[in-house]
Amino acid sequence: MPKRNNSKKSISSKNILKKMKDLSEYYKKKLIKGGSDASITSDDAAANAAAKAAADAAAAIETADAEKAAALKKADEEKAAAIEKADAEKAAAIEKADAEKAAADAAAEAIDCATVCTNGCIRPERCPSAEARARVAALLQGTSLDDLVNIATNSLESRTRARFEREPGLNL
C-alpha cells in the first residue's frame, strides 16, 4: 500500500486524482497477485467506482475553486472601482476647495481704486485697474474725436430709452 503523506500540503484536485489513481492501481495489483478471477472482477469494479467517485470529487473541487476565484476577482474589481470612485470624489473636493480659495483670495484682493488710491496707486505691480486703463488709452489713441462723440451720444440715448422702458411713469 502506498505510504500516507501526513504533511500539511494544500490539496488540489490534481493531487486527489493522482492519489485515487495510485490507490486504484495498488488494489488492482494486489487483487491480481492473490485473488481469484471473480474477486478481481468485483474488486476492479469497486476500484473503478472509487476512481470515478474520486474524479467526480476532483471535478467538484475544481468547480468550487473556479467559483471561488471568480468571486475573489469580482470582489477585487468592486474594491478597485470603489477606491477609484473615492479617489475621484476626493480630487473633485480638492479642486472645488482650491477654486473657492482662489475666489476668496480674488475677492479679498479687490479694492476700490477710486477711494483707496486717491494719493497714488497702492499696488502698482498688481493694480486691478491697470488693464482697464490700458484699454481706455488704446481706444482714445485709435479713435477720432468725432467717433468718440458718436459713441457717447449713442450710449446716452440707449440708456435713456432703457430707463423709460423700465419705468413707464417717466414718459413725456
Say how far apart CA 19 and CA 70 lie, in whole Å. Answer: 27
The pTM (predicted TM-score) of the whole model is 0.34
H helix or E strand, kind and range, residue 58: helix 37-109
Q: How many residues does the chain have?
A: 172
| Domain edge (last residue) among 56, 83, 110 | 83
Residue 89 within any structural domain of the chain: no
Residue 164 within any structural domain of the chain: yes
Domain of residue 160, residue span: 120-170
Torsion sign (Cα): 73, 78, 83, 88: positive
Residue 97 within any structural domain of the chain: no
- Nearest CA to 44 among 24, 65, 73, 63? 24
Residue located via cell numbers 470624489: 89
Domain shared by 125 and 77, yes or no: no
Residue 99 within any structural domain of the chain: no
| Domain edge (last residue) among 31, 57, 83 | 83
Number of domains in the chain: 2
- Residuewise pLDDT in 10s, the chain (172 residues): 455 555 555 566 677 777 777 877 777 676 666 554 444 466 667 777 777 887 788 888 888 888 999 999 999 999 999 999 988 999 888 998 888 877 766 665 677 777 888 888 887 777 877 888 888 899 889 989 999 899 889 988 888 888 888 887 765 5
